[in-house]
Structure 1
């Protein structure tokens, strides 16, 4: 080997040694960082929630989350806001009310990306005939009009946060609606400001109980933390407490880091307790409501009657389902 070759060999060996040292140093830093993330606990010392996956940026969570079975996109191209899904759940007993909700959205002049989770085969078969929505089957198999606050009803509604979480994990904003709602105008302009969650009070027993029947979740880390904690509490309570009460508790406890909550104007987003005691025609003329929530009523027939009396019933009875 001549002198020139020996010099080149010595030069490259030194570079190789330096490169190895640099790579080892980088790997050591990554290992330390991973250990620090893995050692995080669900609860911080100050009582706030944290965990190794929750503190990651939403973009990383999106990449790692298992893709929910969204089903094929509907042929109708949505005209609502991007990266946003309007979500609801329904069983066969309420398919006609769901159709009325969809008809009210159509009347506003916008058509967002709408996903409906059918809780039984009958509802699925009826709704999948439409070409303007995405219909998913949950196989809960309860086709009846469930009494409010009954164990079956509570179990039914307590599944909703799990559905919402799947969409948030994919980086989609979620506007969850109960089907006993009518849109009179486009609600999206009212979700202004840099908030994580927008919702209405339920005025339940004069307590500050929040409504989970109309909630807009932005796809942010605080929203995802909130919905994960809600799912955890539902599991721990074995469906003995409604998600409405549990969500109210979580927000009132102020344990979600940097969570920003906006309460919607009750005159623009009235719920059933307001509609009970007021003539709706007069209320509508005075307040120009955007979304009307027909809760605080009994079952399906009572809700339909109120919609018709308020002139908010837009469909025929072609989708009525008689459950025996």
Structure 2
């Protein structure tokens, strides 16, 4: 089930990480952090303050049992509220009931979704959390929102909960959790692939709450918050996972299970492989309106009357 090859029908795509950062040595990269960087221990102490704040949850003691205690984490703003609703509807149609934490990036989104909050659906305003360095700047860009997710991941992991990070511009066709729990003892993290095989796409990213994974996320935050070079979350994670200093067991999920948007919405690819797909991701499709139009065309926009 964990296929790492590129399917023959896959459309041509460009490299996501053409530069040297994909293979850079981690100690060298960290040595180039700005002088205002802080140590891993200091960063941990800063971020642990979030555990006592809005993110507070009872600490879970890990038992080694499968399935573990886990949380689905996602984030959105007012521009993607309807796409978030469509994602939630896809889960409802699968009749799965998992704990979800939604990080709202603006007051409008918080007010809209907080009305539906319950014991299984928590809504938190992202500004309530401490975010270090460059991540703490109020820059209303998509990449800023994406990069801040590392802090949310860390806080949940420190509470003893595994985390499944899911983009809201996805549609769940099948429940993916059984795939992970089937091989739970063999890996530390499970992640979709980006435009290149074995290049991580945190659009679907399951992380165990264990020390070496928590350390990885701390390193990830440190690079994004304090490095002189501005990394995307994908490139920073790829750099860390390819470093020999980071020792986590990674399962890169096959394209036929978790395809790129440019694959799933390609007619020939869709004809051959749609039956194997678990998660449809609307990446590489443009802005929100274009994503919705493509979802609607393929019958996975569930908010229209009669769908």
- Normalised TM-score (structure 1): 0.68
Listed as ranges, the matches of 1:209-228 within 5 Å are 209-228=199-218
- Among 235, 252, 257, which residue is 1:245 paired with? 235
Larger radius of gyration, structure 1 or 2?
Answer: 1
Q: Contact 2:50 / 2:56 at 8 angstroms: preserved in 1?
A: no
Structure 1 residue runs of 4 or more that deviate by more than 4 Å after TM superposition: 51-54
Q: Contact 2:162 / 2:206 at 8 angstroms: preserved in 1?
A: yes
Listed as ranges, the matches of 1:102-181 within 5 Å are 102-132=88-118, 133-139=121-127, 152-181=141-170
Alignment partners' CA distance in 2, 1:131 and 1:81: 24
1:198 aligns with 190
Alignment partners' CA distance in 1, 2:80 and 2:56: 22
Q: Contact 2:187 / 2:251 at 8 angstroms: preserved in 1?
A: yes
1:283 to partner: Cα distance: 4.5
1:208 to partner: Cα distance: 4.8
1:67 aligns with 52
- Among 277, 282, 288, which residue is 1:294 paired with? 282
Question: Aligned with 1:200: secondary structure?
Answer: strand
1:65 to partner: Cα distance: 8.1
Alignment partners' CA distance in 2, 1:151 and 1:186: 32
Corresponding pairs, count: 246
1:297 to partner: Cα distance: 1.3
1:108 to partner: Cα distance: 1.2
- Normalised TM-score (structure 2): 0.71
Question: Aligned with 2:141: secondary structure?
Answer: helix
2:134 aligns with none
Structure 2 gaps, min length 5: 1-25, 32-38, 43-47, 59-65, 129-138
Q: Deviations over 1:261-306 (max 9, x none)?
A: 1111210111213124235762455x42111111111110011011
Q: Contact 1:154 / 1:241 at 8 angstroms: preserved in 2?
A: no
1:91 aligns with 77
Q: 1:238 to 1:86 in 2, by over 3 A?
A: farther
What is the CA RMSD across the aligned residues, in angstroms? 3.3
